[in-house]
Amino acid sequence: MEQIEPVMAAFTSTPELPDVAGGRPTGMSKVRFTARPLRGQGGTVFRSMFRKGEFCVTDEDVRLIKSSRKLKLVIPRSQIFDAKTIRKYVYFDVHAPAGIQRVVLFASSNGEARKILEWLPAQATPAHEAERTALSSYSERILTLTPITWVTYGLIAINVLVYLAMCASGVGVMAQNLPMTVKWGTNFGPETLSGGWWRLVTSVFVHFGLMHLMLNMLALYQIGRLAERLYGSGRFLVLYLFAGVIGSIVSVLWHPTVNSAGASGAIFGVFGGLLVFVLKFRQQLPASIAVQQRTSIVILIAYNLFYGFTHQGIDNGAHLGGLVGGALLGLTLAMPLSEPARAKVALRNTVLSCALALAVFGASAYLLARASEGTREELQFKKLVLALDPAEQKAMSDMLALMHLHVDTQSERDAVANRVMQEVVPQWEKLYASFDNVHLSANSPNTALRATLLRYFDDRRKMYRLAAILAQRGPEPDATVLAQITALKSDALEQIAAINRLASTKAGGGR
């Protein structure tokens, strides 16, 4: 590309396109375009928002024509500088006597944008040429530092393999069975805080369904490769895992009774690490890259945090914990882009990173070990809820098996009634006693759920006691006992609906 100083010429707006061509046509394309002065520059706004039109190029000028063909912008080629393309966008500056204007074209495809760029003059200002050289050098440097981003691809592969293994075990593809996910290592407070500290790591690789997995892996693919090139594969892996674990710790401190899992805490840590790198070494990055990345990262962080706080089922504790953890460790892990400069600070940064990690983990362990009595009661209650489904299913199936037994004689009826009282009713008594022995605080969010569960268990145990009486009395049912069973069954169904409603508001937290 040619590099020359800009020459100020005429920047003209003509009422209509001349019938006699002012130059030999080079190309034409349908685009959307906008043209406005750069900040601090004079001149008029031709079009502030993108508008449909045509982009015509001759060997003398360039013409932007609105779709109505009532207004056109004719730009001499000598005024056009610093043309570039980013995907479907084509940018160039117009250096006119009134000031510098920025023209932005939105082409129909990436290929069309590149074709338009070829039609434009290759003139460049010294600043643009320096930035272009810096961009080229930047790309070469980070590719040299980390030619293959194997850690990013490896992390994605591990997450996908864990998800496929979970699906194969029957957890579910889209809407997963949340109690079953606990067996795969989710960050479930009652288990984590009862010695299952390994869940702080494994929960980073477990996801609640296909969409949860896809969204997180897409984000990791998009930002992980850049972060790995800037930090280096080993340091990037440390950053990712550290942020993921800190996200898990904050999550279990924030809401210790929630079943939480997902990679987004670690991904937020990568966001934080990238932002720290861009701010810390902004002088070593091309200006356009530094501004673009800083703006993009801040917008992504703000949007995702806003979305998390305005929607249910999002683990905001893990997001914030991962973000802060990634930013803190990024301060010590981030190193300059040049190899000689990296070698000088490598040992110091490693020592600082280890000291920071030990301090954070030590403080976290202290906080996790100081769970209050109220928290321990909530954890015990959630643990009972998690074990409820298999216990309930066994009690129901045992009763169903007894109901299908063939009985003719009184002794057989007595035997069935006896088994109901000795095998089925005690299971409901045990469920009732286990939840009755949990003493929740008055302001506990689980008070209503506990009361509903106790009423449901009470309905069941009373109902099966009466069923044993009916079975013993023979084929002639007692109308009074039958009416009592019907009333208890109806109430039990109402309690099931209430339990499902209350439990749905306390589902797992995705991250």
Catalytic residues: 264, 319
Contacts of 110 (CB under 8 A, 6+ apart): 87, 88
Stated length of the chain: 511
Determine the distance from the C-alpha atom of residue 458 to the mean position of all C-alpha atoms in its chain, rounded to a whole number. 42
Residue that the structure tokens 């268990």 belong to: 457
Retrieve residue 375's tokens. Answer: 């928290």
- For residue 267, the number of C-alpha atoms closer than 13 Å in the C-beta half-sphere is 27
**Helices 287-310 and 126-145, axial angle in degrees (round to 10):** 70
Q: Which helix (H) or strand (E) holds 194?
A: none
d(CA 123, CA 95): 11
Residues 318/247, Cβ–Cβ less than 8 Å: yes
Rounded to whole angstroms, how far apart are CA atoms 51 and 70? 13
Contact (CB, 8 A) for 246 and 511: no
DSSP character for 38?
P
């296909």: which residue's tokens? 210
Amino acid at 121: P
CA distance 304 to 225: 20
Alpha-carbon gap, residue 294 to 301, rounded angstroms:
11
**Pairing relationship of beta strands 509-510 and 259-261 according to DSSP bridges:** parallel
What's the burial of 29, exposed, middle or buried (CB within 10 Å: 0-12/13-18/19+)? middle
DSSP codes joined into one string, 201-232: HHGGG--SSHHHHHHHHHHHHHHHHHHHHHH-
Give the separation between CA 183 and CA 203, rounded to whole angstroms: 11
β-bridge mates for residue 14, sequence order: 72
Q: What is d(CA 6, CA 92) in angstroms, rounded to the nearest whole number?
A: 13
What is the C-alpha separation between 474 and 424, in angstroms, rounded?
20
